[in-house]
Amino acid sequence: MLSNIDLQINRGEVLALLGENGAGKSTLVKLIGGYETVSGGTLQLANQAGKLEPLDTSTWNHAKAEAQGVILIHQELNLAEQLNAVENVFLGNEIRRGLFLDKRQMLELTQEYLSILDCDIDPLVPVGLLPVSVRQMIEIAKAYAKNSTLLILDEPTAVLTARESEALFELVDRLTKQGVAIVYISHKLDEIERIADRVVVLRDGELIGDYDAKTLNKDDMARLMVGRELTNLFPTVAPPDSTSDVVLELKNGAVPGLIYNASFQLRSGEILGFAGLVGSGRTALMEAIIGLHRFSKSSTLLVRGKPVSFNSLAAARDAGLAYLTKDRKGSGLLLNMSLPINFSLFSLHNFSNGLINTKKEAIAFSEAVDTFEIRLKDLSINAGNLSGGNQQKLLLAKVMAAEPSIIIIDEPTRGIDIGTKSQIYHFIARLAEKGHAIIMVSSDMMEVIGLSHRVAVMCRGQLVGILEGEHIQEHEIMRYAAGLESQLTEEGEQACA
């Protein structure tokens, strides 16, 4: 996985690890954090006096690492969902008074940590009920509570909003001033520009460069990661002409408790971006369209002009609609199953006339491997062992195997390296050129602006505006997303209030 990496991490600095998916970033930090064993080489950690002492790599594990202040926050959240924020923050690290837990002190400390993170929640609610971004903040508070000397953050902002990310960066600043060393992994290059002191680039398991962050700009970083020049990250797709068919139309879309008011039209050949803050109802709206939630009676959903009401995903699929979930590990792929089984799962009826035709399935899969450029030496591994980028491509292949004409993609490139991102953008563009209609839900402002023909913005369960042409700009999208502006009539506004 990794070979020959020499790396020093200094007190009080933010070291950014850059690299494409599968470059070995997560593996490297797992070695340091004690979640994987080193097969060769040495690991040294500074003691209280600041002198480096070699560690026994064969017995190094995460419990020892945490005891020494080396704390890794995983890409995937590791909270006990039934427990509340206080219990999670002090899990395994509880403060006792005599035999009993000192609940009051733990509550006060948790409140203090969360306020540093600008995270205003009730710390006594089970964290499973809180949004993902808040859970990430609790995870960070938990690491903070442990008095770390080396804090490793593996893509902490993938699920955070811009404001929450900013609160995190302020915490990082505060920690580095206290002398804590930070290792930071992110695919968001502007973040790295904002907080990193040093940038280390990995490619294919090797360390290919160690740079002073001041000497690099975003373009340099992207080039170093990929190892080649990146031209036109966002392909340009001619917008559909006004005569092309409206394939999907929603009028007065409402789902009790989730969506209050959403109306839009989608034409074939069009890429319609959906922007909005986390929790603004974008995913809920898409899930309602494909039949996972019920629209209220006043809503009308038209597919190619015909009113429809899907009571299952299968019905939506048979009408030519497909939805790519944003949660590829939780609801996209069977991680402990083989790639072909994952590939055919959404369109399995196409491969069966009573019995599954495994030959046909295998042929279709190997074609998809080519079409979607799933780059793998060993195709017999399970989906869970794929890198994020390959997982996303497999998910795309799985959904496209049903040959949908209307494709809803939720967060198409979350947690994916820039090279794969570019491939996925080009793929979406090709689909649109072929006349597919595409909805792209995304929290990545760059891709919404770079790829969409029009941008619908949602705010608190309402579709508050659709921007076109020169209006597709970051600050304008933000104004709608934040609820400062709306194209809804007074009447529509009131309906939701």
Interacting residues with another protein (CB under 8 A): 30, 35-36, 292, 312-314, 316-317, 323, 325, 330-338, 340-341, 345-346, 348-349, 352, 354-356, 358-359, 361-363, 365-366, 379-380, 382, 384-385, 398, 402
Residue placing its CB nearer to another protein in the complex, 42 or 331: 331
Residue placing its CB nearer to another protein in the complex, 354 or 469: 354
- Does residue 84 contact residue 163 with C-beta atoms inside 8 Å? no
Query: Can you read off the two tokens belonging to residue 246?
Result: 């409206």
Smallest separation (angstroms) from another protein to the CB of 293: 12
Smallest separation (angstroms) from another protein to the CB of 452: 24
Smallest separation (angstroms) from another protein to the CB of 51: 32
Smallest separation (angstroms) from another protein to the CB of 362: 4
Residue placing its CB nearer to another protein in the complex, 43 or 314: 314
* Residue in this structure with the two tokens 């001033």, named with its chain if needed: 177
In the chain, the amino acid numbered 255 is V
Residue placing its CB nearer to another protein in the complex, 2 or 477: 2
- The Cα–Cα gap between 239 and 399 comes to 24
Residue placing its CB nearer to another protein in the complex, 95 or 363: 363
Smallest separation (angstroms) from another protein to the CB of 130: 19
Smallest separation (angstroms) from another protein to the CB of 335: 7
In the chain, the amino acid numbered 486 is S
- Does residue 295 contact residue 309 with C-beta atoms inside 8 Å? yes
Taking CA atoms, 403 is separated from 203, 269, 424, 431, in Å, by 35, 15, 17, 11
Residue placing its CB nearer to another protein in the complex, 326 or 454: 326
- The Cα–Cα gap between 199 and 208 comes to 11
Smallest separation (angstroms) from another protein to the CB of 312: 6
Smallest separation (angstroms) from another protein to the CB of 346: 5
Residue placing its CB nearer to another protein in the complex, 157 or 391: 391
Paired with 406 in beta bridges are 321, 437
- The Cα–Cα gap between 421 and 451 comes to 12
Residue placing its CB nearer to another protein in the complex, 106 or 368: 368
Smallest separation (angstroms) from another protein to the CB of 345: 4
In the chain, the amino acid numbered 225 is M
Residue placing its CB nearer to another protein in the complex, 270 or 361: 361
Residue placing its CB nearer to another protein in the complex, 238 or 355: 355
Residue placing its CB nearer to another protein in the complex, 121 or 341: 341
In the chain, the amino acid numbered 202 is L
Smallest separation (angstroms) from another protein to the CB of 360: 11
Smallest separation (angstroms) from another protein to the CB of 333: 6
